Structure formats: structure tokens, C-alpha cells
Structure 1
Amino acid sequence: MQTIAIVGLGLIGGSLGLDFSRLGYRVLGVARRPETVAMALKRGVIHQGSTDLSLVAEADGVFLCTPIDRVIEIAQQVVPHLKAEAILTDVSSVKGALVPGLTALWPHFIGGHPMAGKAEAGLAVAEAHLFRGRPYVLTPTADTVPQDLDAMAGLVDQLEARRYCCSPQEHDQAVAWISHLPVMVSSSLIQACQQEPKPELRQLAQALASSGFYDTSRVGGGVPELGTLMARYNREALLSSIALYQRQLGQIRALVEVEDWDGLHHFLAQTQAARPAYVDDAL
């Protein structure tokens, strides 16, 4: 693979462009707005850019880096321009709702999800090495061409990401737990604080908020469009996770109501012991 095309030059697409350019690939970029293409060229994200999807005809591999709700639509427009053996992939945080349709559109499609990002969005915050040490999930199916999977795995490894392979369904349930549910929980925390009826107490809480509140509320302060798309396209897995989370929150409430401090201590000791398995590798 020598030429890579990126459709959608936001944070993820732009960061991929910076890395693949650094690695010696010829990088093509397609964006909706000419000014985005111009910025990408100026920053060295891409070598050639256009607002016309026909540019992908030169590519050996194409990354769809558009919002979740536009991936299928854009893929339909991209496919007529692809080389016969070109690999098509996406970067969406939901796979089950997309992979079957994309696989039907193009036999050399492989679902992908680079799990790196920022609270901010857009090309202006794209950066090299964004994926280094971060998970990058590939979701092949029974229809995936083995050579295509090998090629994609090689690209992911060059990004120095931690590569994982699983089914689209396994991906969606796992991501519901550690990405989509936290957005909803964090947002609910902020909304609960906003329900404080006394303005002076709410202002005092805002003034006293420190690192603990910052950590637990961070993802709830992210881009609303992305959180909405997560819920819309991963609805079933998210609802399942919310139900189990509500059960655990109800258990805590019950322990506090009956003043079962030993029970609460045991509950918190369990979570203290379990947490490192989720976060130590991310530090």
C-alpha cells in the first residue's frame, strides 16, 4: 500500500493524515469545505486534497472519517471510484449498525475504531502520534478477505497503537461500557448538580469543584453531537449498560438508606480492587 485517502479531515482524519505522511505514505484528503482542504495542505496533513470524492480513485486504502450518521451515505458515493482491490475502512465508534451495510457495499471493507480523541473537535486540534499506545479495534467478519485484514493490521501497528480484533457486536457492547455509558453518566452528574434549587449553593459547588469533579464530569462536557450519535447507533447495548448501572446505583442508595456502612465499605473496596484492570494501561 502506497497511497492512502482520508475522507473527512477532522480530529481523527487529520491525525491519521499526519501520521501516515510521517510514515512515508502519499496521503490524499477529501473534505466538504475548500478551506479545510487548504488548512490540511498547509499543515502537511495531506499531499493532495479536494472536495471531490473522485480523488480516492488513486488510493490503495481509504479511511472514512465522517460522523457516524454519514458513513453509509459517503461510502455509497466513494465505492464507484475505488480501485478493484482498494481497502475501505471507517473510524466510527459504533460497528454493528454499520459493518453489515458497508460490507455489502464493498467486499474489501474492514471496520475500524481508533480509540483516541480529545474534548475538542476539528482539524485544528489534530496531532501526530495521537494513536500511539491507544487501542485501535478492527472488526472483521466471516466475509473479510484475510489479506485485507493483514494489511490493515500492518497500518495499525505502524501507528504504534494497541491492536485488537473482535466482532462488531462484541465491540459495541464493550464500548458501551467504557465509552458510551460514561458519557451518559457524566452528563447526568452535571445535570443533577444543575438541579440544586438554591442558586447560592450551586455557585458554591461550582467554586469548590476540583479534580474529582473534573475527572468524573469531563466526558459529559464533550461534543453533544457525538454523544447523541453514540446513543442513536448503539442504542441496545447502551440501554443494557444503563440498566445495569442503575441497578448498582440503586444498591448504593439502599446501603446508605439503611446505614449499612460495612456493606458500603465492602462495595467500595470491590470497586477499588476492580478499577486498575480498566485504567492502568491507559495511564
Structure 2
Amino acid sequence: MKIGIVGLGLIGGSLGFDLRSQGHEVFGVSRRQSTCQKAVSLGSVDEAAVDLSLLATTEVVFICTPIALIVPQVQQLIAHLPATTVITDVGSVKAPIVQAISPLWQNFVGGHPMAGTADSGIEAAQRHLFVDRPYVLTPTETTPTAAVLVLEEIVRSLGAKIYHCQPEQHDRAVSWISHLPVMVSASLIAACMGETDPTVLQLAKNLASSGFRDTSRVGGGNPELGVMMAQFNQQALLGSLQQYRQQLDEVIKLIEQEDWTALEAKLQSTQKVRPDFVD
């Protein structure tokens, strides 16, 4: 199968590695010629160019650009494709993307692979990135079944776990477990930097270990991606943040009142349910 990838970063590059290893012919498009050359030299794609016309003969195209560029890229891309080509994206927000692209292209299936690292760019691409990771598909009532089946077969071949849901359900779910953690983690780092005693601040930096590393990781990620999460999933994220603030206020109140019994009960409750989210 001839497969196109628009956006040769971590996700696009990693897709290329795995798809090529299965015998697919992979064509990549990037905004920078240097990235195109790097992707070919690394073996992520067979051919690469800055011109979308390279994808004219592809049967499936993955849009792996930043969220804000997904719709504009599709608008430009469809002039080069036959109507039978299946288009999908990997954006972490689905409702606005699906709403914008579905009227433009019948064979569009919204997608979101829940995989990644703290690094970015084609150099960060790696093989088997999607193995045992969730991969969400968000077809609508009008999405052709054949298009969904084609994409399911590809996703299954990556070793990923397929989930289906409505675009709006996806956005509410990821606001809790992906977008909220970014904002909370960033706020943690900002709060630490609010320490006014430079000696204490430096000591905190020196002492920071696994706990701080784990809870601050996503807050130290790509700022552009964080802004796009907030911009394109604004309402769901605000709802999550407001609920988080209520929980934080409750913890503050319990500590102020020295209600250690209630605080312990709360921590026991969170300890009990955490495995439901993280194995």
C-alpha cells in the first residue's frame, strides 16, 4: 500500500518506520527540505518532499502536523488526491477537527495515537512507538465503513489497542488524563519558581528527584503543543481545571483545619482508584 505522512516529527517519523517495516511504500511531506532529507536518510520514509503533490498516488494519508495546521493542510492536500484516498489525523483534539474536515472529505477518519515521548522532531522518531498503546478512532455516522476498516487494519498492525468513541467524548476524556496534567504540571514548576529565597530555591533544585521528575515531566514539554491543547479543547479543559481547583481547595481546607483523618481518607481513596487509570 502507498501511504503518505504529512509532518515528519516524532509521530510521523515513527509511523514511517513501522509502516515501511511492513512493506508499505511511505511518502513524507515536511515544511523543511532538511527534515525531508533526514527522514529519507534515517529510513523513516521512501521519498520525501515539501510539496503535497508527492502524495497524489497514495491510498492513505496520515496528517501528523501540530493541531492548528491539520485543517489547513487537509484543505491544501485534497486538491492532489483521488476521492478514494483515506485521510486521518493524529491530533490530540478531535471535535473541531472532525467537524471541519468531514464536510470536505468523505473518507476522513479522526484518529489519536496515545503515544509519545518528551522529545520532538524526526530525530526523536523510534520504531514500535505504538505497541500496546491506545489508538483512538472517532468516525461519525457518515464515515464510510470501508475507510474505517482500512485504518483499523493499519492501526492493528502497529500493535496498538484500538478504541472507538465520539469526537466530543474523546475531547472530554483527554482533558482529564492528558491536557489537565500538562497545565497542572506546568503550574507546579511555576509555583516552585515562586520561592523567594534563592538559597532555598537552589536547594530544592538540588534535591529534586523521581517524584518531582514524574510530576513535572509533561509541564516541561513543548509549549506550542500545550497552548494548542488549551485553544482547541478550551471548554473541556476549563471544566477539568475548575474541578481540579475544587479538589485542591478541599485539600487546603483539610490541612488548615488539621483534619488528618479526612485527609488520610481522601489519600486512601485516590490510592485505591489510581490503578484504574495506570497499570
Distance in 2 of aligned mates of 1:82 and 1:15? 23
Residues 221-274 of structure 1 show CA distances to partners (whole Å, capped at 9, x for unaligned) of: 001111011000000000000010001111111110110000000000000001
- How many angstroms does 1:206 deviate by? 0.9
Is 1:94 aligned with 2:113?
Answer: no
What is the number of equivalent residue pairs in this alignment?
279
Q: Find runs of 4+ consecutive structure 1 residues off by over 3 angstroms.
A: none
- How many angstroms does 1:97 deviate by? 1.3
Is 1:64 aligned with 2:63?
Answer: yes
Q: Name the SS for the 2:278 alignment partner.
A: helix
- How many angstroms does 1:48 deviate by? 1.4
Residues 154-200 of structure 1 show CA distances to partners (whole Å, capped at 9, x for unaligned) of: 11100000110100000000000000000000000110010011111
User: Please, what TM-score do these two structures have when normalized by structure 1?
Assistant: 0.98
Is 1:25 aligned with 2:27?
Answer: no
Residue 44 (structure 2) aligns with = 45
Distance in 1 of aligned mates of 2:185 and 2:268? 22
Is 1:124 aligned with 2:123?
Answer: yes
Residue 257 (structure 1) aligns with = 256
Distance in 1 of aligned mates of 2:166 and 2:210? 36
* Structure 1 letter corresponding to 2:102: T
Is 1:145 aligned with 2:141?
Answer: no
- How many angstroms does 1:125 deviate by? 0.7
* Structure 2 letter corresponding to 1:17: G
User: Please, what TM-score do these two structures have when normalized by structure 2?
Assistant: 0.99
Residue 214 (structure 2) aligns with = 215
Residue 161 (structure 1) aligns with = 160
Gaps of 5+ in 1: none
Q: Name the SS for the 2:56 alignment partner.
A: helix
- How many angstroms does 1:92 deviate by? 0.3
Distance in 2 of aligned mates of 1:249 and 1:106? 44
Distance in 1 of aligned mates of 2:103 and 2:198? 55
Distance in 2 of aligned mates of 1:64 and 1:133? 22
Q: Name the SS for the 1:163 alignment partner.
A: strand
Residue 241 (structure 1) aligns with = 240
Residue 227 (structure 2) aligns with = 228
